Chain A
Amino acid sequence: MSDATFEQNPGTLPGHTSLQLPGTKKVSRLLIGAGAVAGFVLLPVVALVEIALQGSGDLWPHLVESVLPVALGQTLTLLVGVGIATVLMAVPCAWLVATCDFPGRKLLDWALLLPLAVPSYIVAYSYLDVLHPLGPVQSAIRWGLGISSPRGLHLPDVRSVGGCIFVLSCVLYPYVYFSARASFIVQSAAALEVARTLGASRMRTILRIALPLARPAIVAGVTLVLLEALGDIGASEFLGMRTLTVSIYTTWVNRANLPGAAQIALVMLVLVLAVILTERWARHGARYVATGSTRPQAPLHLTGGAGIAAMMFCCLPILLGFVVPVLHLATAAAQRIEFSGFSGGILVETRNSALLALSGTLVALALGSVVAMAQRLTRSPLAVWFARIGGLGYAVPGTVLAIGLLTPLAGFDNAVNRAMTSLFGVSTGLLLSGSGAALVIAYAIRFLTIPIGGLEAGYSKLSLHLDMAARSLGCSQRATVRRIHLPLLRPALATAALMVFVDGMKELPATLLLRPLGVETLATHIYAEAARSTYEDGALAALLIVLVGLAPVILLARVSRAGVPTSTSRSPVSPSPAPDPR
């Protein structure tokens, strides 16, 4: 691309606002749509504010004195620990897989994403079993040391801050890996080669050029990791952590102080917004490096010892985040089937899980598209705000989001029910909260940030020149979207869809509170067993969550690589399926 500067900073393009000339009416309709989506996401937050305003009595002095210092400290330790650990695990792997060639690279390329399919609470259960004094690891160590009684050997317990950092890092690193890998793949060979010809060593090139170029992508991945870790309740509570999210939960459930819980949740929301805005700021500064030369780097061939070392390094995260927990689950599931037989109910639960996740994915994708398109087509600052608000759902812990949704959903249901009863004498019951619709809405709100972010990133790679060309060739705004944007955004859409689906399969807290009578999903099944501490009984259900999530995760790796512009595949600015101007 000769006009790389224009390409990379479309915001400075003179006269870009003229883009919206012919279709202004439709565009503003799009803006209204995006506003409606933002309002929709704000519903539970507003409900929370309302709950918080009810007053929490004398809670805060107590919180400040004996809860918050510990909760803040542990939350911070957890976030820092998980942040550092995931970067150390993911970034070297991403760099190796993206820029080198070594034995097993093709397999590792997608296998490194596998832990995405495993819910964090399941990994926590598994590691407690595996690392317990009665489990295989310690038994083997004792056997090796010739110690007969478990009392003779005391190793650190996984039920600790360190254990929780370990477990969460093992399942969350793929978020960093995913975005770092994509960034390394598109890095311009030219920049790296210039550094080498100027005498920089390979290591120096990595540290001074490759890593800084990938920084925005790494930060974006780490932000997702931190939000997940912050909102985590299953693994954290199980491993004995006292994070903010656990404190919110304790305040609500054990002190029966919902307003107090809502207040802590809102304070946390502010903290999360600070994290997100920081990330935005970091990403903004580096936006113009996103594309450039389309010539990919020639892979660095690692042979012999280096190749084996690279392979083993990349195997480790997969081993810890996927192979160990899944092997454990498979063993436990096999024992359970042998012990108590196979219950057909689990197939229904699998269907429910998949169906709810799929529906949530479709709704999230539709809503996310509206928001992202409004941003692209109107280029209005308002649309940017709508996009930020649209992503808020991810920043609220699932349980809190669910509580916030109860009131507006059931309020709507009751209003409809009253109206229908008085007008037509027909009772409609609970239309939304009595059906799976409430859950679909919850999933869509919770995961909306994924399609919004994904499509934003996708759009940022599409030159505005494309839109101009299409428009000047007589395409309407709508036709431009349909014939240019959507086909080119396909990889971004597919990636977002797969990620939302996998997250939906794993979602627990909102599902538990909002699902209709008589409906169980795999996640609620596992939870019900875990609640009686018979989580071995949930092993089969856990295995099924992983299995259903597996195909999307593998697809994800392929789609994301296919969607990356290289000289061999299609470049975003010279699309191979060129839209004919009719």
Chain B
Amino acid sequence: MSGKTLSRKACSPLLLAACSWAMLSAAPATAEEVVNVYTTREPGLSAPLFEAFTKATGITVNSVFVKDGLAERVKAEGAASPADVLMTVDVGNLLDVVDAGVTQPVETAALTAAVPANLRDPAGNWYALSMRARLVYEAKDVKLANFHYEDLADPKWKGKVCIRSGQHPYNVALTAAYIVHHGEAKTEDWLRGLKANLARKATGGDREGARDILGGICDIAVGNSYYVGLMRSGKGGPDQKKWGEGIDVVLPTFEGGGTHVNVSGAAVAKNAPNKANAIKLLEFAVSPDMQHIYAQQNMEYPILAGAKVDPIIGDLGPLKVDPISLVDIAKARKKASELIDKVGFDN
């Protein structure tokens, strides 16, 4: 084969690549109104909100789902960053984004009126948009009553508890809340007790807890409230409906406290090129109709007082939110994460 044919052959994929390259960028380059969203929340969950927003305002929403490294990416992009809105789950992640210096404070009457003071940054750097509770799933024949998080370490559950990785943000936050309630020493004991009770490695997702209960691996499992809704609603398919209906759910509380909750939330990016649209999107997300839709999409609790909660979640029972501050929980995260390592929770 001569060099000529070789280079001709090499050219065809090159040409193909060049041609299709132009199609890759989905973001239109025209001057229409846009808002760019970087989110760690799975794209399917935010889609209905974005669609409704575009329908109501004519503003196009471009989004990218970045699981980890959202703050690093926006920071690196610096002044030229196209990001307008940063959406994350877990209050710790919200604070990380603020600490990375990539947000800006915004304050509008609509936002402060809708979002309760304990669910937003006093300076306006972030606002919670929805709330989820950390619950306990149980096998149908277990019948827990008046269950406390503290009881998870009770030796009577030895070899009967399923939970995801201790280092997962949901469990780090739960452990951090334990520290806020009881101090480090007691938290370490609790973690050791819970670790001794595990039926399998601390890994997977919360839904696997329900599946493993049904599979006879464990009797109780720790999991978030919305997974129950997602499984039982049938959104996850017939198998998951079986898992969701195969368990009972209890809303545990801390002794002398309430049920541990966390939030999903949003912030306006520091260098937002479309700041006005970003604020519009945030205000839209906390409006009464959208609060119901946004929360229902992921089977969460709305943060707007009076907004409707999905009946599947409502049926789990009344939620008594733990009164300790989210910011205090976030501050205890580092210590919590270290304790989880120290007791070898995930080993």
Q: A residues bordering B, Cβ < 8 Å?
A: 62, 65-67, 70, 74, 128, 132-134, 138, 149-154, 157, 159-160, 237-240, 242, 249-250, 252-256, 258, 335-336, 339-340, 351-352, 355-356, 358-359, 362, 399, 402-403, 406-407, 409-411, 413-414, 417-418, 427, 429-430, 433-436, 482-483, 486-487, 490, 512-520, 524, 527-529, 531-534, 536-537, 577
Asked if residues A413 and B341 are in contact (CB atoms below 8 Å), the reply is no
Asked if residues A533 and B36 are in contact (CB atoms below 8 Å), the reply is no
Within 8 Å by CB of B21, from A62, A138, A355, A409, lies A355
In the assembled complex, B233 has its CB within 8 A of some CB on chain A: no
User: In B167-210, which residues have CB < 8 Å from any A CB?
Assistant: 167-169, 172, 200-208
Asked if residues A518 and B239 are in contact (CB atoms below 8 Å), the reply is no
Asked if residues B341 and A430 are in contact (CB atoms below 8 Å), the reply is no
Within 8 Å by CB of B42, from A149, A407, A413, A531, lies A531
Give Cα A250–Cα B212 distance, bound, in whole angstroms: 25
List, in ascending order, chain B residues with CB within 8 A of A65's CB: 342
The 3 closest A-B pairs by CB, nearest first: A240-B203, A533-B205, A133-B215
Asked if residues A62 and B67 are in contact (CB atoms below 8 Å), the reply is no
Query: Are A66 and B82 also in contact (CB < 8 A) when A159-B200, A517-B64 are?
Result: no
In the assembled complex, B63 has its CB within 8 A of some CB on chain A: yes
List, in ascending order, chain A residues with CB within 8 A of B25's CB: 435-436, 516, 518-519
Query: Are A355 and B82 also in contact (CB < 8 A) when A134-B211, A254-B169 are?
Result: no
Give Cα A404–Cα B230 distance, bound, in whole angstroms: 37
Query: Are A413 and B77 also in contact (CB < 8 A) when A152-B216, A240-B165 are?
Result: yes
From B1-9, B275-283, B314-322, give the one contacting chain A: B1-9
Give Cα A225–Cα B141 distance, bound, in whole angstroms: 46
List, in ascending order, chain A residues with CB within 8 A of B216's CB: 133, 149-154
**CB-CB contacts of B59-103 with A at 8 A, as 1s and 0s?**
000111111110011001111111000000000100010010000
In the assembled complex, B237 has its CB within 8 A of some CB on chain A: yes
Asked if residues B211 and A436 are in contact (CB atoms below 8 Å), the reply is no
A135 CB to nearest B CB, Å: 8
User: In B19-53, which residues have CB < 8 Å from any A CB?
Assistant: 20-21, 23-27, 36, 42-45
Query: In the complex, which range does the number of interface residues on chain B fall in?
Result: 35 or more
Most chain-B CB neighbours within 10 Å: which of A128, A359, A483? A359
B198 CB to nearest A CB, Å: 11
Asked if residues A254 and B337 are in contact (CB atoms below 8 Å), the reply is yes
List, in ascending order, chain B residues with CB within 8 A of A256's CB: 92, 96, 99, 334
Query: Are A134 and B214 also in contact (CB < 8 A) when A159-B203, A433-B76, A487-B6 are?
Result: yes
Shortest Cβ distance from A340 into B: residue: B237
List, in ascending order, chain A residues with CB within 8 A of B81's CB: 430
List, in ascending order, chain B residues with CB within 8 A of A429's CB: 80, 82
Asked if residues A490 and B1 are in contact (CB atoms below 8 Å), the reply is yes
Give Cα A513–Cα B77 distance, bound, in whole angstroms: 12
Asked if residues A513 and B26 are in contact (CB atoms below 8 Å), the reply is no
Q: List 24 A-B contacts (CB under 8 A).
A: A133-B215, A240-B201, A256-B99, A340-B237, A358-B16, A403-B72, A409-B76, A413-B80, A414-B79, A418-B79, A430-B81, A433-B77, A434-B77, A482-B3, A486-B3, A512-B68, A513-B69, A516-B27, A517-B63, A517-B64, A518-B63, A528-B42, A536-B237, A537-B236
B298 CB to nearest A CB, Å: 8
Query: Are A519 and B14 also in contact (CB < 8 A) when A402-B69, A406-B69, A410-B76 are?
Result: no
Query: Are A133 and B204 also in contact (CB < 8 A) when A486-B6, A513-B69 are?
Result: no
Give Cα A417–Cα B273 distance, bound, in whole angstroms: 14
B207 CB to nearest A CB, Å: 4
List, in ascending order, chain B residues with CB within 8 A of A151's CB: 216
Give Cα A410–Cα B347 distance, bound, in whole angstroms: 37
A563 CB to nearest B CB, Å: 14
Within 8 Å by CB of A358, from B2, B17, B92, B240, lies B17
Asked if residues B65 and A524 are in contact (CB atoms below 8 Å), the reply is yes
List, in ascending order, chain B residues with CB within 8 A of A403's CB: 69, 72
Give Cα A315–Cα B194 distance, bound, in whole angstroms: 44
List, in ascending order, chain B residues with CB within 8 A of A149's CB: 216
Asked if residues B201 and A411 are in contact (CB atoms below 8 Å), the reply is no
In the assembled complex, B338 has its CB within 8 A of some CB on chain A: yes
List, in ascending order, chain A residues with CB within 8 A of B347's CB: 70, 74, 242
Shortest Cβ distance from A429 into B: residue: B80
Give Cα A411–Cα B347 distance, bound, in whole angstroms: 39
* Beyond known contacts A159-B201, A256-B96, A414-B78: 20 more, CB 8 A cutoff: A65-B342, A132-B212, A150-B216, A153-B216, A249-B68, A254-B168, A256-B99, A335-B238, A402-B69, A417-B79, A418-B79, A482-B6, A513-B66, A517-B82, A528-B44, A532-B45, A533-B205, A533-B206, A534-B236, A536-B236
List, in ascending order, chain B residues with CB within 8 A of A160's CB: 201
Give Cα A413–Cα B240 distance, bound, in whole angstroms: 45
Shortest Cβ distance from B95 into A: residue: A256
In the assembled complex, B13 has its CB within 8 A of some CB on chain A: yes
Give Cα A580–Cα B334 distance, bound, in whole angstroms: 70
Query: Are A132 and B201 also in contact (CB < 8 A) when A483-B2, A531-B42 are?
Result: no
A121 CB to nearest B CB, Å: 13
Within 8 Å by CB of B82, from A339, A362, A434, lies A434
Shortest Cβ distance from A435 into B: residue: B25
Query: Are A132 and B236 also in contact (CB < 8 A) when A254-B172, A517-B64 are?
Result: no
Within 8 Å by CB of B344, from A66, A356, A399, A402, lies A66
List, in ascending order, chain B residues with CB within 8 A of A434's CB: 77, 80, 82
Asked if residues A436 and B24 are in contact (CB atoms below 8 Å), the reply is yes
Give Cα A407–Cα B224 distance, bound, in whole angstroms: 36
Query: Are A417 and B80 also in contact (CB < 8 A) when A359-B21, A528-B43 are?
Result: yes
Asked if residues A157 and B76 are in contact (CB atoms below 8 Å), the reply is no
A455 CB to nearest B CB, Å: 15
In the assembled complex, B255 has its CB within 8 A of some CB on chain A: no
A354 CB to nearest B CB, Å: 9
Give Cα A532–Cα B245 distance, bound, in whole angstroms: 19
Within 8 Å by CB of B167, from A238, A250, A352, A486, lies A250
Give Cα A239–Cα B168 distance, bound, in whole angstroms: 14
Asked if residues A513 and B68 are in contact (CB atoms below 8 Å), the reply is yes
List, in ascending order, chain B residues with CB within 8 A of A356's CB: 24
List, in ascending order, chain B residues with CB within 8 A of A66's CB: 338, 341-342, 344
Asked if residues B346 and A519 are in contact (CB atoms below 8 Å), the reply is no
Within 8 Å by CB of A430, from B43, B80, B342, lies B80
List, in ascending order, chain B residues with CB within 8 A of A336's CB: 237
Within 8 Å by CB of B201, from A70, A157, A417, lies A157
List, in ascending order, chain A residues with CB within 8 A of B200's CB: 157, 159
Give Cα A265–Cα B207 distance, bound, in whole angstroms: 32
In the assembled complex, B217 has its CB within 8 A of some CB on chain A: yes
Asked if residues B238 and A339 are in contact (CB atoms below 8 Å), the reply is yes
Most chain-B CB neighbours within 10 Å: which of A133, A238, A256, A433? A256
Within 8 Å by CB of B215, from A132, A237, A533, lies A132
List, in ascending order, chain B residues with CB within 8 A of A138's CB: 215
List, in ascending order, chain A residues with CB within 8 A of B67's CB: 512, 527, 531
B324 CB to nearest A CB, Å: 20
**CB-CB contacts of B209-243 with A at 8 A, as 1s and 0s?**
00110111100000000010010000011111000
**CB-CB contacts of B138-163 with A at 8 A, as 1s and 0s?**
00000000000000000000000000
Give Cα A537–Cα B44 distance, bound, in whole angstroms: 11
List, in ascending order, chain B residues with CB within 8 A of A407's CB: 76
Give Cα A518–Cα B46 distance, bound, in whole angstroms: 13
Give Cα A487–Cα B211 distance, bound, in whole angstroms: 56
Give Cα A239–Cα B204 distance, bound, in whole angstroms: 7
List, in ascending order, chain A residues with CB within 8 A of B42's CB: 528-529, 531-532
Shortest Cβ distance from B338 into A: residue: A62
Asked if residues A159 and B204 are in contact (CB atoms below 8 Å), the reply is yes
Within 8 Å by CB of A351, from B1, B20, B77, B227, lies B20
A487 CB to nearest B CB, Å: 5
Give Cα A249–Cα B165 distance, bound, in whole angstroms: 13
Asked if residues B203 and A239 are in contact (CB atoms below 8 Å), the reply is yes
Asked if residues A533 and B44 are in contact (CB atoms below 8 Å), the reply is no
User: In B308-339, which residues have CB < 8 Å from any A CB?
Assistant: 333-334, 337-338
